[in-house]
Each structure stands twice: as C-alpha cells, then as structure tokens.
A and B are shown apart, each in its own frame.
Chain A
Amino acid sequence: MSSTTTEEKVIPESKEEKKTKEKVTMVVFSGDLDKVLASFIIATGAASMGMDVTMFFTFWGLNAIKKNEAKNTAPGVMKKMLGVLNKGGSKRLPLSKFHMGGMGTSMMKKLMKQHKMPNIDEMIDLAKQMNVKLLACTITLDILGISKDQLREDVIDGYVGAVSYLSEAKDGNVNLFI
C-alpha cells in the first residue's frame, strides 16, 4: 500500500504531462448573427488557449457557412420555398433581437465595425487559421434542401452526423449548444 503512494508522489506533475489537449465542441444551431458571433468568439478564444475546437453546424446555423451568392438549387416546391425564405450566407444573418426588418442588424454591424470587431467572414478565416474544425450536419442539409456547393466548402472540414459529433463531444471538456 505505502509503496504505491510513494510511487504516485514520484511522478512529476509537469505541465507537459497535462498537455493532452483539452477539447471544446459546439453545436451551432442558431443562425442569428449575435449567436454565431458569440460561437466564434468562444471558438477562437479556446483555440488561443491551445484547446482543440470543433464546431458542428446544424439547422439554421448552417446559414453562417453558406455562400452569400449561393443559388437556390433545392429540389421540390417546399424545399425551394424554404430556400427562398432561408437564404442564408454570412452577410444575411439577422440579429436574434431587434432585427427590425434589417435596420437593427445593419446598425449593430456598424457598431461592431466601430469597435473593430471582426465580422463573421473574418471570424471564420481566423478560426480556420487557428485550426478550428468546422463540421456540417448532413441530415439537415438534406431536410433543408441545401447542396454542398451552396456551402463554403473551402472552410468545412467534414460532413457528418450526430454520432460523429457525439464521439467528439464525449471527450470534450466544454460542450456548448448555441
């Protein structure tokens, strides 16, 4: 018994040892400008701390990684209609509050610019530079009638399902649903 305790004490508690990378995962469900921005702020902040970051975009969150100039190629009337209403693209994200037909959002964008806050596109670039992993949910793509070529394929690391997200999240030290 006593020998095990001494053995435990001998093992040095080095920082190196602790350096098995900590992990953050995020489900970005919302396509609201403010919420997506908050997601990227947390993601880049965590990456700056040397953490592994995975962002899983699903449902309206996919709008953040949709091309601004994407054409509506959805099959069928319902999906086509959805595509019209839910156009998406980083420049079209509405505020979750005070969108006011776009007026509130454009004012918020101006304020953010004044404060030198990066916009969504700059945030995505920054996240990619810091090796943040961006995943897109395949099932939602089907349901919403979004094709891969409507998405920013240059920044997406994979098209996966819930199971793949969970296999990452179960090792996550911080898992968020935004």
Chain B
Amino acid sequence: MNEEDKPDVVLDAVGLLCPMPAVKTAMELEKMKKGEVIEVLTSDHISKTDLPVWCRETGNQLVDIKDDGEILKIRIRKAI
C-alpha cells in the first residue's frame, strides 16, 4: 500500500447490495475534496466489477482493490 493513498474517508457499506455501494460512494465523494481518497468496505462482490466501471464513468480514479474473500476494500481517489 502506498502511503499517500491512505484513505481520508472510510465508507462502511458492508451488507449493502447493488447499487447502494456506488450510491453511498457518490454521496460521500461529494463531500470530499479533489485528491482525497475514500476506502469503500463492501461485501457485495458485484462492486468488484461495478465500482471500477463507476470510476471510469464518473472520471474518478480507482486506486486499488483488496479482496480478503469476504470483504472487499476498494480505494478511490476523487479526481474531479
């Protein structure tokens, strides 16, 4: 993990289903500043494919995805 990618905000979306992880991420990012990083915790494995697409569509930057089998940690940098 890159030190500068340490999350400024951690969003606990564990247990929430599609499209809530994306919806919550969008709402959280709105409050954040450009360049800040959010770490989304989710148990919805669709997020693994959906959140990268969401990033591409919204112009935000996907930092990385960590998958420990049950919970995904997805880090996104606000780029707009």
On A, residues with C-beta under 8 Å from B are 15, 19, 41, 44-45, 47-50, 115-118, 126, 129-130
Least distance between B17 CB and chain A CB atoms (Å): 6
The prevalent SS among residues of B at the interface is: helix
CA distance A49 to B17 in the complex (A): 16
Contact A116 B22 (CB under 8 A): no
On B, residues with C-beta under 8 Å from A are 15-20, 22-23, 25-27, 54, 57-59, 80
Question: Which B residue sits closest to A44, measured CB to CB?
Answer: B23
Contact A130 B27 (CB under 8 A): yes
Contact B27 A41 (CB under 8 A): no
Q: Which of A15, A48, A117, A118 touches B25 (beta carbons < 8 Å)?
A: A48
CA distance A45 to B47 in the complex (A): 12
The verdict on A49 contacting B54 (CB below 8 Å), with A15-B80, A116-B15 known, is yes
Least distance between B50 CB and chain A CB atoms (Å): 9
- Provide the residues of chain A in CB contact with B19, threshold 8 Å: 41, 44-45, 48
Q: Which of B16, B23, B59, B80 touches A45 (beta carbons < 8 Å)?
A: B23
- Provide the residues of chain B in CB contact with A115, threshold 8 Å: 17
Contact A116 B17 (CB under 8 A): yes
Contact A48 B54 (CB under 8 A): yes
The verdict on A49 contacting B20 (CB below 8 Å), with A116-B15, A129-B27, A130-B27 known, is no
Contact A48 B17 (CB under 8 A): no
CA distance A10 to B47 in the complex (A): 37
CA distance A47 to B24 in the complex (A): 11
Least distance between B41 CB and chain A CB atoms (Å): 14
In the complex, given contacts A48-B26, A49-B22, A126-B23, what are 14 additional A-B residue pairs having Cβ atoms less than 8 angstroms apart?
A15-B80, A41-B18, A41-B19, A44-B23, A45-B19, A45-B23, A48-B27, A48-B54, A49-B26, A49-B57, A50-B26, A115-B17, A129-B27, A130-B26
Least distance between A125 CB and chain B CB atoms (Å): 12
- Provide the residues of chain A in CB contact with B27, threshold 8 Å: 48, 129-130
